Structure 1
Amino acid sequence: MRGSPVKHTLKARLLATAMTAALAFGVSSAAQADEKPQYGGTLQVATVNRALNVLTWDPADWNWKINHDTGQFYEQLFSADLSKSKRNGGKYPYYADAWIPSDAVRGELAESWEMKENPLRIEVKLRKGIMFPEKPGVMASRELVADDVVFSYTRLDKSPKKIATYFDHIEKVEATDKHTVVFTLKSFNAEWDYRFGWGYYSGIYPKEVADAGAGNWKNLNGTGPFMLTDHIQGNQNTYSKNPIYWDKEKIGGEEFKLPFVDKVVYRNIKDEATVTTALRTGKLDIAEPIRWSDMEELKKSVPQLKWSKWLSMNGQFVAMRIDTKPFDDIRVRRALNLAVNKQEIVKAYYNGHAELFSYPQHPDYDGYYEPLEAMPASVKELFTYNPDKAKKLLAEAGVPKGFSFKVQVCTCQPDHQDLLPLIGAYLEQVGVKIEIQPMEYGAFLSAMTSKTNAAGYMMNNGHTNPTTTIRKSFVTAQTWNPSQYADPAFDKKMDAAYQERDETKRKTMLKEMTIEILDKAPYIWLPTPYIYTAWWPWVKNYAGELRAGAVRPGPIYARIWIDQEMKKKMGF
């Protein structure tokens, strides 16, 4: 194939959607000092994960998405302090999938916490008077107590689906009185607050729910601002206001009981055109993930919409199994990186709405991320198009005529289904052919977690946070390690980073590890796209925030209100 595969394939689409001028995006403050919150109404949201159905309701299944679906009613010990958001004059946009800076963590169920020595432990004092609502057939209304925290942790820890090493730093968890939980540690872990405080698997729920069946949505009950009152698989989740919810929001010096809206509805919509139509017609209040091409059209056709722009918190790549020939040879892996014109993908495929380099560390991770220009020449080379050198490396590795391999891709990622053939076209120019295998999400995820994935595996993977982004993908035998990367020396460096209490030193260690893994090229590193969030101006107390913990938007939605009069005046 001659010329640019991107340009040949996308010319018509780019001509139809390209804009002649750059768009400037500013996040405007949704809540003005003179606006008083309104109660009532329904908030309709196409969330970041709108294309994925509920994967499980049971925390013991250790599924990454559970906070997204249960975080409206399962609260955690900690969450993000939304008073420090940019909207409120702070410095944090709260886009990150699982990163709360250390100065932006607030107690949710925890009123206070303290780390103590001899033995090393964290003592957590719970807020008093937080109630589980009544759940007919499951439980009577009662107070949340320390035993609920111990139960939730213990059930998670004993699950056969537990992520290996995740709680290895914890010796025991016990309730020392009705409102005190003590985590006794075997060793310090830099992620102690994330691992069972505000992380992916940190939801607190009562034993009564587990006894009734934690996998059945009709049995679920928590202390959060909403209760799950309806679920239609593949269509929507409906969360209704918890009338006895404990938390409040201070606005204009006055405290208001949360939540403001009567209902939050998650809309499962896979088709991007359907999302834009639903938003345009007011059937959606918020559409969290919008591709640049749809954004440009919507900016023209619906100028009333408000917008935020965020660099995706998912790194994207084609993983190459290093335990499979010829990918056990670093020259092959580097060759495939050189064969793909990543700069052209940014310019032509994404029309400039992407960054060439922002994974595995994300630019939001202040002090952990280093830009490409600060990287060694050997890393910079991997982001430079050089098909001649790619052919030379392949010849040196003993595959001068190239080879073919299978690449699995998820049907839940329309962007990847468009992009992967273009990557294949680049690779074909150096004699490497790919066989694309589309898979539904369940089978796709299972292939990786069971380590039966193909030699090639294209995916999005959350940056998560500065330590986990390295650990989960590049430490031996970890669940989210599609390249099956394994290096005992690298594993020891990861252990040392977790045990380092000085964050400044830890930042240096992780920078060095990031350079090492980039250089070893277990992936074809790909650009990271910008994503756009749109909402109608009647959505108040909101500026595009996405998560207040690991993939958990619940505390954000609880603080939104709908200006019913404005919505009516706008004809909806």
Structure 2
Amino acid sequence: MKKRIRFMFLAFIFILSIGLAGCNNDSGGKKTGGESGADGGSSSGGTLVFGRGGDSTSLDPAITTEGESFKVTKNIYETLINFGEQDTEIQPGLAESWEESADGLKHTLKLREGVKFHDGTDFNAEAVVFNFERWKAGNAEQFYYYNSQFGDVIKEVKAVDEYTVEFTLNRILAPFYKNLAMSPFGIASPEAVKKHGDKYNENPVGTGPFKFVEWKRNDRITLVKNEDYWQDGLPKMDEVIFRVIPENSARMNALNTGEVDIIDGVNFSDVESIESNPELQTFYRPSLNVAYLGLNTERGPLKDKKVRQALNYAVNKQAIIDAFFAGAAEPAKNPMPKTVAGYNDDVEPYEYDPEKAKALLKEAGFEDGFEIELWAMPVARPYMPDGKKVAEAIQKDFEDVGVKAKIVSYEWATYLEKTRVGEADTFLLGWTGDNGDADNFLYVLLDQDNIDSNNYARYANQEVHDLFIKAQSTNDQAEREKLYKEAQLLIKEDAPWIPLVHSEPALAGRADITGFKPHPTGSDLLATVEFTK
């Protein structure tokens, strides 16, 4: 009863504070007035509403692979190592420093002292050990990212003292530190994990700038300022609300009417009107993505490499770019963008050639075509502004070479799960890189180890696998790039995907927003965002 009375009292104070904030605001109840920033032109406090296309699937970042979840969890949790503001160069995070042994098998991290989880418990080396042991001991199909980024490479994680943790590896893992900086490896409160058990994904507790308050499925997730955050002066906002607005046009309308402050999934055709509106501004996410049509290599005619190659020749990528990206993208020929070291520009792309597609289908015994399902993404993603329309364009391209494709879709979480377990013939998906390393695209998405995880095409090639493991197991960057380039040639020949585009996604927001810096990984830290006066 005492807890209930205390909660009601705090709720009353919170509601009262919002009401008072609204009295000081001339623009939709978002700004509180606050104190001026260092430049005298910023106002801290208030509520930031972020409009997005889909709901999160989990608020435990360790058990999901999709970006809508990481948008939120990036602001609740912190990782041992950080990326730069708008790049994937590693920087201190919850670990202030680190060193690697001469043989590359031991990594010793010195942790930041005085940091607490949102539940008031201490962040320390034992908490780090708890998280890694949880991920390692768990079901590989549940902790997808731990399995794909570390697998059986980590032999032991040990607390040397209260603020020193030591990792011992079974072999060299070249992207080890970059992996640690990825959103899935946000450090959770051990006590909260134990307390909530299977419901922890709905009750997240980290050390980040914002604390979880409420999750209304398919509507909104509300976070509030962590008053005890270890970085002085952050976060700037009192509250962040992530609103789900599935349609791009509806999200754009919500921005125009002041219902939301920032939106992603901006239609490329809307950019010109946004930039001509003095009340709005555009933001661009540095490109680190690929959109693709996956071809399930275990289903029907798609088992045949010639059929998969034929479908690659059938798709007019430039027409898709012109129609749905307003030209603001480039055709993809590899599973990763040019910005990633190890990209093989010597790979010859599958040009748009319907006649070549028909000839290959004839060679494969499908001169009269066949029927398949083409799964369309139900949400807008940075690399895919409109999954249904793109699917319709590809459906027409397939029809032109005699392949009849039935378009299918599901709610986002269901779509991902059914695709993961191999129920789709062909499926639209994409990937925004987590750490800027080729391993995070090639090994994670196309290695046989990751079937039933992130390898939705269920592609297996032992020669490709061996190249990936060799590339992981050396710190010689030139050798790594050579190995990845060899692998891309083999992947192109096997054609488990139709790589579609690499885009530079556009976001939009109110003109008076400062401090918002979209990250190439798609996980945006909102601690520095505020409204100008």
TM (norm. structure 2) is 0.84
Percent identity reads 28
Partner of residue 357, structure 2 = 390
Partner of residue 311, structure 2 = 336
Aligned mates of 1:218, 1:349 — CA distance in 2: 35
2:427 alignment partner, one of 439, 457, 464: 457
Deviation at 1:119, TM superposition (A): 8.1
Partner of residue 531, structure 2 = 562
Partner of residue 246, structure 1 = 230
Q: Please give the per-residue CA displacement for 1:492-520, whole angstroms capped at 9, x wherever unaligned.
A: 11100000101122122212212321232
Residues 45 and 265 in structure 1, CA contact (< 8 A), matched pair in contact too: yes
* 5+ residue gaps, structure 1: 1-30, 83-92, 95-99, 136-140, 249-256, 566-572
Paired residue type of 1:54: S
Deviation at 1:326, TM superposition (A): 2.0
Deviates more, 1:454-463 or 1:186-195: 454-463
Aligned mates of 2:298, 2:354 — CA distance in 1: 25
Aligned mates of 1:308, 1:226 — CA distance in 2: 23
Matched, 1:292 2:279: no
- 1:436-455 matches, within 5 Å, as 436-451=407-422, 453-455=423-425
Q: SS of 1:123's equivalent?
A: strand
Paired residue type of 2:403: V
1:276 alignment partner, one of 245, 252, 260: 252
Over 3 Å counting, the alpha-carbon distance change for 1:350 and 1:81 in structure 2 is closer
Deviation at 1:433, TM superposition (A): 0.8
Aligned mates of 2:418, 2:201 — CA distance in 1: 26
2:466 alignment partner, one of 492, 501, 512: 492
Deviation at 1:154, TM superposition (A): 0.9
Partner of residue 55, structure 1 = 57
Partner of residue 182, structure 2 = 199
Residues 292 and 530 in structure 1, CA contact (< 8 A), matched pair in contact too: no
2:48 alignment partner, one of 43, 47, 51: 43
Segments of 4+ moved more than 6 angstroms: none
Over 3 Å counting, the alpha-carbon distance change for 1:323 and 1:219 in structure 2 is closer
Residues 267 and 325 in structure 2, CA contact (< 8 A), matched pair in contact too: no
Residues 59 and 202 in structure 2, CA contact (< 8 A), matched pair in contact too: no
Q: Please give the per-residue CA displacement for 1:439-467, whole angstroms capped at 9, x wherever unaligned.
A: 1112211112223x222222223344411
Residues 149 and 204 in structure 1, CA contact (< 8 A), matched pair in contact too: yes
Matched, 1:174 2:158: yes
Residues 53 and 248 in structure 2, CA contact (< 8 A), matched pair in contact too: no
Paired residue type of 2:81: F
Over 3 Å counting, the alpha-carbon distance change for 1:63 and 1:389 in structure 2 is closer
Aligned mates of 1:495, 1:285 — CA distance in 2: 44
Deviates more, 1:489-498 or 1:65-74: 65-74
Partner of residue 483, structure 2 = 509
Partner of residue 396, structure 2 = 425
Deviation at 1:216, TM superposition (A): 4.6
Partner of residue 28, structure 1 = none
1:152 alignment partner, one of 131, 135, 138: 131
Q: SS of 1:424's equivalent?
A: helix
- 1:98-247 matches, within 5 Å, as 100=88, 104-117=89-102, 120-133=105-118, 135=119, 141-160=120-139, 161-163=142-144, 164=147, 166-195=150-179, 197-213=180-196, 215-216=199-200, 219-247=203-231
Partner of residue 519, structure 1 = 493
Deviation at 1:546, TM superposition (A): 3.0
- 1:393-408 matches, within 5 Å, as 393-408=360-375
Partner of residue 17, structure 2 = none
Q: SS of 1:420's equivalent?
A: helix
Residues 315 and 352 in structure 2, CA contact (< 8 A), matched pair in contact too: yes
TM (norm. structure 1) is 0.79
Paired residue type of 2:268: W
Q: Please give the per-residue CA displacement for 1:349-395, whole angstroms capped at 9, x wherever unaligned.
A: 43322211264121332x3334xxx424xx23x0x221112111111
Matched, 1:482 2:456: yes
Residues 332 and 500 in structure 2, CA contact (< 8 A), matched pair in contact too: yes
Partner of residue 22, structure 2 = none
Q: Please give the per-residue CA displacement for 1:415-454, whole angstroms capped at 9, x wherever unaligned.
A: 1101111111111111111111111112211112223x22
Q: Which has the higher contact order (CA 8 A, sep 6+)?
A: 1
Aligned mates of 1:230, 1:217 — CA distance in 2: 12
Aligned mates of 1:358, 1:292 — CA distance in 2: 22
Aligned mates of 2:426, 2:367 — CA distance in 1: 20
Provide the aligned C-alpha RMSD in A: 2.4
Over 3 Å counting, the alpha-carbon distance change for 1:538 and 1:168 in structure 2 is same
Aligned mates of 2:238, 2:507 — CA distance in 1: 23
Deviation at 1:531, TM superposition (A): 2.2
Aligned mates of 1:260, 1:310 — CA distance in 2: 22
Paired residue type of 1:209: A
Residues 355 and 530 in structure 1, CA contact (< 8 A), matched pair in contact too: no
Partner of residue 507, structure 2 = 533
Aligned mates of 2:306, 2:360 — CA distance in 1: 6
Q: Please give the per-residue CA displacement for 1:524-552, whole angstroms capped at 9, x wherever unaligned.
A: 2223344211122311223x4236xx543
Partner of residue 361, structure 1 = 336
Deviation at 1:226, TM superposition (A): 1.2
Aligned mates of 1:322, 1:156 — CA distance in 2: 29
Deviation at 1:296, TM superposition (A): 3.2
Aligned mates of 1:169, 1:401 — CA distance in 2: 48
Residues 60 and 159 in structure 1, CA contact (< 8 A), matched pair in contact too: no
Residues 361 and 514 in structure 1, CA contact (< 8 A), matched pair in contact too: no
Deviation at 1:219, TM superposition (A): 4.3
Deviates more, 1:487-496 or 1:60-69: 60-69
Deviation at 1:171, TM superposition (A): 0.7
1:468 alignment partner, one of 426, 430, 440: 440
Residues 44 and 284 in structure 1, CA contact (< 8 A), matched pair in contact too: yes
1:67 alignment partner, one of 66, 70, 80: 70
Deviation at 1:173, TM superposition (A): 0.3
Over 3 Å counting, the alpha-carbon distance change for 1:421 and 1:219 in structure 2 is closer
